[in-house]
DNA sequence: GTTGACTTTATAGCAGCTGCAAGGTCTATG
DNA sequence: CATAGACCTTGCAGCTGCTATAAAGTCAAC
């Protein structure tokens, strides 16, 4: 009495007939009976318990092969090991997803910023809140080189990020620092690259805080105009009677959507913190 | 000057040569040059920017095909849509993983419980803290039927769980309730199945709280001994002069590791809440 | 006896790679 | 100049956990 055909068993347990056949072939679970004449698979409803276990083990990230080994020769210690391994893995995945979640927010904000950004060459005064940067010193003055070398240095930044277990995703918001004293003397010398990161996600000893301030900013759509525009920025600050209060930043805005398949699409916001006095 | 071979490009960007060749074939990114004679791929380091974008898009869950479309004909609005879609997806995944994380903890506890559990037939008094159960009324008195029907009802519970968007993973901790008044009259009539769930993860209106209490418990290794053991439990309570203060529960412990490939491996803890007086 | 729902096996495909084989090429050293 | 060893090319097979399809056989109901 009461055997279930493959279709009934599948429906009852919410999986496909194909999966049941696959599990049979892989030795996870075979029907208790086979039709003598027709070769049909007939399952006992109690085998649902095995399907539950299979499902559970799958959710633990075990492969079908591993599962079949466990079903054949169950080892509770092994299961416990898998559970603990999986627990750590899940913790890691949660952390990653939280990173990613934040990075996506950041990109959306960045796109909005890009959309509303003034055209190339515009100078504006903006208040920018407190930020946190992840900084590396690459030991090479990139102003002496061109785009190629800059790309090479970006790779270094990228490697450094991943060495510190930070998600690559922050990488879309990179930039460079020019120290206040160098800028004052029009000396384009800098070896420092950064990405902006989140204070709440990245440990404090890896990051450098940038205080909130009013910034005099100029928007720029090419890597090659940077020096010229920076000069304009300084002149404008002087004209307006602002005092420069910190380091100059060259921030790349919305790197991602600016796709140019031969080179990095650039939209930069060059900025210097200023006070009025 | 300075073209990169496929190996250099791969190393620089932390992916395999095979992947670069795949991306070429799929039309995501082709080397700017090809060796005339030897057919070698030569990349421009600036193409790293494209690889960054590809990586970013991949992390957004886009397929290589979608990515190639976007690279060919970028649409910032589409990107934003993908970003928002991905954001929701990430939120869902985080929620799921938190569920899973908790369920794994629960299973590990369950295994530990199983390891230290007394042998079949032992009666002990245990304090059990507050619990939360997800309960369904299946409308059928399962004491009138055997294991087959019980399996069928478990499937119903399972469907109900997934209809309420709860993870199947809780399913490993199922059990049945017998109301106090029925037990008192030795009337084995119950239509209620449950799984234990977490208060913090499952909305309150889906769950029923079980207060903390001392429970007189008997451990049982077979479905078929339940009635007999429940009777023993009642007699023991009487002998010790305890008063039954609530519903009887039949809780299955560590369902998962008890693998018997023909039927559900059972280890039950039958329990009645009692007070002394 | 026919219809239509079911079953069987076998085979191919998916995505995003990895790995291998067979063959050609580059560069450095002897 | 020869040769070794690192590199490159294409093409094909394989991985996982399915899904989809085809061709053929079976069952239950009318």
DSSP state of B221: S
Beta-bridged to residue A163, according to DSSP, are none
What's the pLDDT at B258? 53
pLDDT at B92 over 70: yes
Rounded to whole angstroms, the Cα distance separating A243 from A227 reads 20
What's the pLDDT at B60? 87
What's the pLDDT at B255? 59
Strands A41-43 and B123-128: unpaired
Highest mean pLDDT among A97-101, B84-88, B122-126: B122-126
Q: First-to-last CA distance in chain B?
A: 93
Yes or no, beta carbons of A111 and B168 under 8 Å apart: no
Q: Which nucleotides of D are covered by protein (CB under 7 A)?
A: 7-10, 16-21, 25-27
The protein residue nearest nucleotide D20, judged by CA to C1', is A18
Q: How confident is the model at residue A254 (pLDDT cuts 50, 70, 90)?
A: low
B97 contacts A93 by C-beta, under 8 angstroms: yes
In chain A, the percentage of residues whose pLDDT exceeds 90 is 65
Give, in Å, how far the C1' of C1 lies from the CA of A39.
25
For A70, the closest chain B residue by CA position comes to B259
Query: Smallest CA–CA separation between A206 and chain B, in Å?
Result: 22
What's the pLDDT at A223? 86
Phi, psi angle pair for A155, to nearest 5°: -60, -40
Instruction: Report the 10 Å Cβ neighbour count for A247.
Output: 18
DSSP string computed for B46-80: GGHHHHHHHHHHHHTT--HHHHHHHHHS--HHHHH
In chain B, the percentage of residues whose pLDDT exceeds 70 is 95
A129 contacts A212 by C-beta, under 8 angstroms: yes
| Average pLDDT of the residues of chain A | 91
Q: Looking at per-residue confidence, does B76 or B155 come out higher?
A: B155
- Note the pLDDT tens digit of each residue in B187-243: 999 999 999 999 888 889 999 999 999 999 999 988 899 999 999 999 999 999 999
Best residue in A71, A261, A264 for a mutation probing chain B (most B CBs within 10 Å): A261
pLDDT at A270 over 90: yes
User: What is the pLDDT averaged over residues B16-24?
Assistant: 97
What's the pLDDT at B186? 95
Strands A174-178 and A248-252: antiparallel
* Four-CA torsion A113, A119, A122, A125, nearest 10 degrees: -20
Q: How confident is the model at residue A260 (pLDDT cuts 50, 70, 90)?
A: low
Q: Nearest nucleotide, C1' to the C-alpha of A40?
A: C7
For A54, the closest chain B residue by CA position comes to B256
What's the pLDDT at A74? 86
Q: Considering CB atoms only, which of B13, B32, B100 is closest to A59? A: B100
Q: Nearest nucleotide, C1' to the C-alpha of A11?
A: C6
pLDDT at A130 over 60: yes
Residue indicated by tokens 């008094």: B125
Residues of B in contact with A108 (CB under 8 A): 80, 83-84, 87
**Element housing A218 (H / E):** strand A213-220
Interacting residues of A41 by C-beta distance below 8 A, sequence separation 6+: A5, A6, A20, A21, A24, A30, A31, A33, A34, A35
Q: How far is CA B270 from CA A42, A123, A221, B112, B252, in A?
A: 34, 76, 73, 18, 9
Residues of B in contact with A86 (CB under 8 A): 104
Q: How far is CA B125 from CA A69, B71, B135, B273, in A?
A: 38, 68, 25, 10
**Domains assigned to chain B:** 4-74 (1.10.1660.10), 104-276 (3.20.80.10)
- Which pTM was predicted? 0.88
What's the pLDDT at B196? 92
Query: Smallest CA–CA separation between B189 and chain A, in Å?
Result: 22
- Note the pLDDT tens digit of each residue in A136-184: 999 999 999 988 898 899 999 999 998 998 888 788 778 999 999 999 9
CB burial of A183-210 (b: ≥16 within 10 Å; e: otherwise) equals: beeeebebebbbbbbbeebbeeebbeeb
What's the pLDDT at B225? 93
User: What is the pLDDT averaged over residues A229-235?
Assistant: 96
- Note the pLDDT tens digit of each residue in B106-160: 888 888 888 888 999 999 999 999 999 999 999 999 999 988 888 899 999 999 9
Q: Considering CB atoms only, which of A32, A60, A155 is closest to B48? A: A155
pLDDT at A202 over 90: no
What's the pLDDT at A165? 85
Instruction: Report the 10 Å Cβ neighbour count for A243.
Output: 11
What's the pLDDT at A255? 59
What's the pLDDT at B256? 61
Helices (H) and strands (E) in chain B, counts: 8, 12
pLDDT at B39 over 90: yes
């Amino acid at each position: 009495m009461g055997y279930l055909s493959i279709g009934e068993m599948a429906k009852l347990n919410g999986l496909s007939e194909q999966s049941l056949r696959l599990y049979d072939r892989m030795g996870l679970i075979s029907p208790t009976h086979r039709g003598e004449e027709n070769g049909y698979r007939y399952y006992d409803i109690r085998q649902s318990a095995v399907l539950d276990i299979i499902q559970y083990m799958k959710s633990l990230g075990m492969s079908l092969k591993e599962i079949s080994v466990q079903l054949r020769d169950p080892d509770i210690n092994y299961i416990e090991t898998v559970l603990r391994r999986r627990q750590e893995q899940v913790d890691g995945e949660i952390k990653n997803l939280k990173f990613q979640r934040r990075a996506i927010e950041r990109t959306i904000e960045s796109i909005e910023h890009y959309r509303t950004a003034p055209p190339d060459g515009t100078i504006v005064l903006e208040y920018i809140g407190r930020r946190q940067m992840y900084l590396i010193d690459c030991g090479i003055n990139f102003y002496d080189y061109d785009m190629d070398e800059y790309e090479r240095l970006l790779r270094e930044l990228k490697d450094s990020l991943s060495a510190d277990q930070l998600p690559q995703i922050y990488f879309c918001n990179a930039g460079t620092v020019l120290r206040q004293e160098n800028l004052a003397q029009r000396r384009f010398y800098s070896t420092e690259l950064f990405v902006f990161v989140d204070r709440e996600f990245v440990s404090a000893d890896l990051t450098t805080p940038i205080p909130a301030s009013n910034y005099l900013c100029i928007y720029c759509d090419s890597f090659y105009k940077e020096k010229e525009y920076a000069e304009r920025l300084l002149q404008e600050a002087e004209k307006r009677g602002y005092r420069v209060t910190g380091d100059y930043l060259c921030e790349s805005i919305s790197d991602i959507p600016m796709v140019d398949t031969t080179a990095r699409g650039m939209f930069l916001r060059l900025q210097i913190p200023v006070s009025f006095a």
